[in-house]
Structure 1
Amino acid sequence: MGTQLKKGLATLALLAACGAAQADPQVFNAALSGAAEAPPNGSAATGDVTVLFDIDNHYMTIAASFTDLEGLSGAAHIHCCTAVPGDGNAGVATMLPTFTGFPANETSGSYASFFDTSQASFWNPSFLANHGGTTAGAEAALMAGLNAGAAYFNIHSSVYPSGEIRGFLAAPIPEPAQILMLLAGLPLLFLRKREN
């Protein structure tokens, strides 16, 4: 096989891998607690959330559960973006007064929903205005905040109206199969570099 053909195949393989990675929805998880609030509170409530955000196809899915709130559930949002990743407070990025259909007046519950992020109604009007007044600007800002660890999911309650439990959203650690797939591309890079 000629050197140019090998280089071309290696380049195509890398471009395909990069293109596939960009097109895939991104997943972010968080464990929710009162200790993660700012300032922390004494709530023994817990919860978890998984957010799947596909910025290319303009949708987000949210799956959350919570248990043992001291107050009754009132609202849930994604807040973005804190000045320091994993710390501090930020304004609400998503719809007001709460996610459509989020369980109200409950101490425990679960939630799952799908949202079209190309709709202005998904966004807090202030967040939208602060990011160019477009849904594309809001999507890009939230994705940047999520990737930076500067966005959090918050559940507000009657006892803790500013937030009873929250957690900063983070991408999960890659599965072993994903790591192996990434490592599989290293020989192509090595081969390409060696031939240059």
Structure 2
Amino acid sequence: MKHVLSVLALAAGTALAAPAFAQSGTFRAVASGPAESPPNGSAGSSLVTIEVIGTQLTVDAPFQDLTGTTTMAHVHCCTADPFTGVAPVAVPFTGFPTGVRSGTYSATVSLDDAASYDPVFLAANGGTAQGAYSALVDAMLANEAYVNIHTAAYPNGEIRGFVVAAPIPEPAEWAMLGAGLAGLVWLGRRRRDEETLRLAV
């Protein structure tokens, strides 16, 4: 009994001392010229998907119809208010294609590596990857981080989009999905029974 209690206490202690790098979620940013600060008339656009799983941040950023050719892109963090304001660079998109008006960028960044962050952002958040990670994820959840694509025509940013958490299906939606699947199973069985009956006659 004492052994069982010791194991349970150890498990509880381990759960309470879970690492800070434990967030996960999918985020999206719809980037456009009118969303820039200041706004511009660029026809460029991008639907950026960011997935955070533990210490890994994966970016998928197709972009098109930019006025100027690309020079750089990154996540900025953290604005004082949601969906407005400007902020310094937090995570540069290393290897982002330059000199083009359309293309795509996909990469995975290790958020437990201090080198993944802009040095100014890192210093402003305790100088550690853990501090920068917490600040970045908190800001993404609070809509205080944005993706910015810079071009030669707009050196301060041609298109940008604030990062928002991708919606998670509500319990009612799961229930509807379950009901729909149950209906399909029922229809399949009914057809099979009808076919069996027809062959028996």
Q: CA separation in 2, counterparts of 1:178 and 1:35?
A: 36
Name the counterpart of 1:28: 27
**Is residue 22–residue 55 contact of structure 2 (8 Å, CA) maintained in 1?**
no
Deviations 1:109-131 (A, max 9, x none): 01111111111110000111111
**Is residue 76–residue 145 contact of structure 2 (8 Å, CA) maintained in 1?**
yes
Q: CA separation in 2, counterparts of 1:178 and 1:94?
A: 37
Evaluate the alpha carbon distance shift between residue 178 and residue 92 of structure 1 in structure 2; reply closer, same or farther with a 3 A threshold.
farther
Deviations 1:38-66 (A, max 9, x none): 11011111111000112xx3110000011
What pairs up with 1:10-159 in 2 under 5 angstroms? 25-54=24-53, 57-95=54-92, 99-159=93-153
Aligned length: 157
| Percent identity of equivalent pairs | 44
Evaluate the alpha carbon distance shift between residue 105 and residue 129 of structure 1 in structure 2; reply closer, same or farther with a 3 A threshold.
same
Deviations 1:77-100 (A, max 9, x none): 0001111100011110113xxx12
TM-score (normalised: structure 2): 0.73
Please provide the CA RMSD for this pair. 2.1
Name the SS of the counterpart of 2:146 in structure 1.
strand
Stretches of 4+ moved more than 3 A in 1? 176-181
Specify every segment of 5 or more residues in structure 2 that has no aligned partner in the other structure, as ranges. Answer: 1-17, 176-201
TM-score (normalised: structure 1): 0.75
